[in-house]
Structure 1
Amino acid sequence: MLKTVSEQSRRSINITKVDSNTRLPQTKLPKFHGGYDEWMRFHDLFVAMVQSKENISGAEKMDYLLSCLKGNTSSVIKHLSHNNANFDVAWDLLKSLYDKPQFITVAHFDKLFEFPMLKGTGLDEIKCFFRTISENINALRALKKPVESWNTLLVYVLAKKMDEETRVLWVRATKTKEDPSIEDLIEFLKDRINELERLN
């Protein structure tokens, strides 16, 4: 019994050592395609997973950064040599290009207001509509924007994008509310998705 416990302890210690030496988690690194609406999520994940890690050299961080950049986004830093000092140069250059709250805000509004009209009541369409609203509203809140003060406008514009059947259900669901909020709309869509999933 003592031998078994001792063996388990040694295995546990070895696993701990391996884990502590692992440079990156197994989670895939985020990708960035150059959209302002993508920047905050990419920035926060890359900082947490790579940039803040002291056991990764600057040259390695540079490699990781380049592997995350898709399309033409890598063109702004790919001319830099892969050394420890240049990672900070590359990261600061990217931030100077994309860390622009005004442009980021506009990009999230575009995602909301340019969402196409729903053509049907299908589950996939409703899910896409729900995700678009939730993700972009949360992003605007993260930017400290007064989302709640825009309730009337946001709800009006987004409800107009619903197909006729979904809009009728929305009107029924909010008939006792004088001024439905964006949270009411998000909860309505969440409930509608649950209904459709049960029906399927």
Structure 2
Amino acid sequence: MDEYSLSAMLESLGELKSSFSAAHTSLEELDFDSIASDLPSNFDAALINLRATLQREIGKRSASQHYSTLRMNSSETQSIIVNANSSRLPLLTLPKFSGAYTEWTNFYSMFTSIIDKDSDLTNIDKLQHLRSCLSGAALDTVRSLEINDANYNTALDLLQKRFDNKHLIFQAHVREIFGLERADSNVTKQRELTDEVTAHIRALQSLASNGKIADGIIVQLVIQKLDKKTQAKWEESSSISELPSWD
């Protein structure tokens, strides 16, 4: 494989990670035994090893830093370019959203800021842009809607009801932190670990205060010590808009 093929493969790993996260999140909602599964951490470890192998090989084949911008950490997602019909609007780069709860807040914030609030775009334009950003479980949520003016707001409402779940978003970020690979004495690995943890902490802080975050982490740990039936009952009674406190 030449450098271009290796770079294309490296670039595709972000989408692979997003697709896996979305699939496993859906599985957890249907099967509570999956919540304690080692599969996500094993998958992440394999993905990190593959990413490192590709980066080393690209580095060997090119003396320049041309491909350094393609380096991505395991929490990043692929981007797509959205072409707006408006002559005023430049090319826009938006993250894809596949249905992973850790991606929802960032995706929704960017989409509403760039596309939803643009008065020069019609609702049909906005719906087409929205569909072009989605994949996996997220796209399935709105796939049946026809492209028309009224269905843009319907599509946003469906996505919010499906993914704007504060409780599940919190749990997803905590699981990501606990599933991070141990860093050895390599400075680069330690920096990558710090960056990933910091990104998750910032996401958690956008959901709640530090006190509530601490409570939520304790609750999350203790819930894993309960039997599956009790876990299911607790999940059914939990609010989707508020984090549970220890009290």
Contact 1:33 1:71 in 2 (8 A): yes
Partner of residue 56, structure 2? none
Are 2:98 and 1:98 equivalent residues in the alignment?
Answer: no
Partner of residue 204, structure 2? 140
Partner of residue 102, structure 2? 37
Deviation per CA, 1:22-59: give whole Å up to 9, x if none. 23x43411211211111110010000011111111111
Shift of 1:123: 3.9
Contact 1:137 1:147 in 2 (8 A): no
Shift of 1:147: 5.3
Contact 2:98 2:139 in 1 (8 A): no
Deviation per CA, 1:108-155: give whole Å up to 9, x if none. 11111111222x3334422321121111111111112325974xx89x
When you count helix as a share of all residues, which structure comes out higher? 1
The structure with the largest alpha-carbon Rg is 1
Partner of residue 72, structure 1? 137
Contact 1:112 1:136 in 2 (8 A): yes
Partner of residue 147, structure 2? 82
In structure 1, distance between residues paired with 2:160 and 2:176: 22
Contact 2:123 2:150 in 1 (8 A): yes
Give the fraction of aligned pairs with identical amino acids, expressed as a percent. 27
Specify the SS of the correspondent of 1:29. strand
Q: Which amino acid aligns with 1:96?
A: K
In structure 2, distance between residues paired with 1:38 and 1:88: 20
Contact 1:32 1:70 in 2 (8 A): yes
Contact 1:140 1:147 in 2 (8 A): no
Change (3 A) 1:116 1:65: same
Partner of residue 186, structure 2? 122
In structure 2, distance between residues paired with 1:39 and 1:97: 10
Specify the SS of the correspondent of 1:55. coil
Specify the SS of the correspondent of 2:181. coil
Partner of residue 49, structure 1? 114
Shift of 1:85: 0.8
Partner of residue 244, structure 2? none
User: RMSD of the TM alignment (CA)?
Assistant: 2.4
Structure 1 residue ranges, 4+ long, deviating more than 3 angstroms after superposition: 147-150
Question: Which structure exhibits the higher relative contact order, with contacts defined as CA atoms closer than 8 Å and separated by 6 or more residues?
Answer: 2
Contact 1:111 1:132 in 2 (8 A): no
Q: Which amino acid aligns with 2:157?
A: D
Partner of residue 22, structure 1? 88
Shift of 1:21: 4.5
Specify the SS of the correspondent of 2:159. helix
Partner of residue 161, structure 1? none
Contact 2:123 2:148 in 1 (8 A): yes
- Normalised by the length of structure 2, the TM-score is 0.49
Instruction: Count residues with an aligned counterpart.
Output: 132
In structure 1, distance between residues paired with 2:158 and 2:213: 35
